[in-house]
Amino acid sequence: MNRPKLIDENGLRADGRRPDELRKIRMEVGVLEKTDGSAYIEVGGTKIYAGVIGPREVHPKHLELPDRGVINCRYHMASFSVDERKPLGMTRREIELSKVIREALETVVFLEEFPRMMVDIFVEVIQADGGTRTAGITAASLALADAGIPMADLIAATAVGKVEGQLVLDINELEDKYGEADMPVAMAPNLNSIVLLQLNGRMTVEEMFKGLEMAQEAIKKIHGLQTEALRNKYKVEPEGSEV
């Protein structure tokens, strides 16, 4: 099959975006009833639900810690979320992403505030079109905030890729598949700290630093959307519009 052209003569990408342009993002908080906190996110064609349950008693009990809480995280893709066959249970990739997402969130959650308790975080990918771990961690952070879990900061994330030699922001599935590099980045924006950083493929050191700059700018915007989504849940409708 012919390799698709990812960047055209005008410098625009296959989906018409400029190299530094994010896909359309939609976020909503408090979307699931049976969780303590939840969020839904769409980044282009990627759709993800995140749910948080806790703090609650640790099961199995031998995993509890006497002086701090524990976080469990499950990143999982529904079998219908991808084109190719994805087996039902947890693949090695999902196990790895569950770990990196958990480790990123652990850096900002105040675990000492809930000793002997656990917080379960579920990231369920419903439709995958690139950037699932970054959209997933963005949604998980919102769900934690919705659940009232004490945290130092929200976490927002995006991925920078390299396509036909050029750095591009927020790659989709096509660009991920046929591009030369994929670098997911997650940050705690107010702490100005990177909590997740991975790289698939090859980049020079200069490209990596330039990519981090692009990511940082985008992450500020995504963080703004997160704050808006949280505030929207508690906004007051003007009189007369309540049923």
Partner 1 sequence: MQYFRENEVVVPGQLLTDDTRKRGFGTYVRDGKVYASTTGIVKTINGGVRVIPVSGRYKPERGDKVIGIVADVKPNVVEVDLGGEMVAVLKLPERESPPLNLDIGDCIYAEVKSTGLRGILLSNEGLQKIPSGILVTINSAKVPRLIGRKGSMIQLLRRESGCDFWVGRNGLIVINGPDPSSEFAAIAAINLIDREAHKPGLTERAIQLLRKIKGGSGEQA
Give me the residues that bind partner 1 (CB under 8 A), please.
Answer: 36-37, 54-57, 66-67, 108, 110, 113-116, 145-154, 188-191, 226-227, 230-231, 234-236, 239
201: left (phi over 0), alpha (psi -120 to 50) or beta: left
Specify the residue, 121 or 169, whose C-beta has the smaller distance to partner 1.
121
Residue with tokens 């991808």: 82
Specify the residue, 40 or 181, whose C-beta has the smaller distance to partner 1.
40
Specify the residue, 130 or 189, whose C-beta has the smaller distance to partner 1.
189
Give least dist CB 11 to partner 1, A. 36
Give least dist CB 62 to partner 1, A. 17
Q: From the CB of residue 192, how many other CB atoms can be counted at a distance below 10 Å? A: 9
Specify the residue, 145 or 169, whose C-beta has the smaller distance to partner 1.
145
Give least dist CB 132 to partner 1, A. 24
> Which DSSP string do the residues of 54-96 spell out, in sequence order?
EEEE-SSGGG--SSS-EEEEEEEE-GGGSSS---SS--HHHHH
Give least dist CB 240 to partner 1, A. 12
Distance CA 85, CA 71 (A): 30
Distance CA 221, CA 166 (A): 22
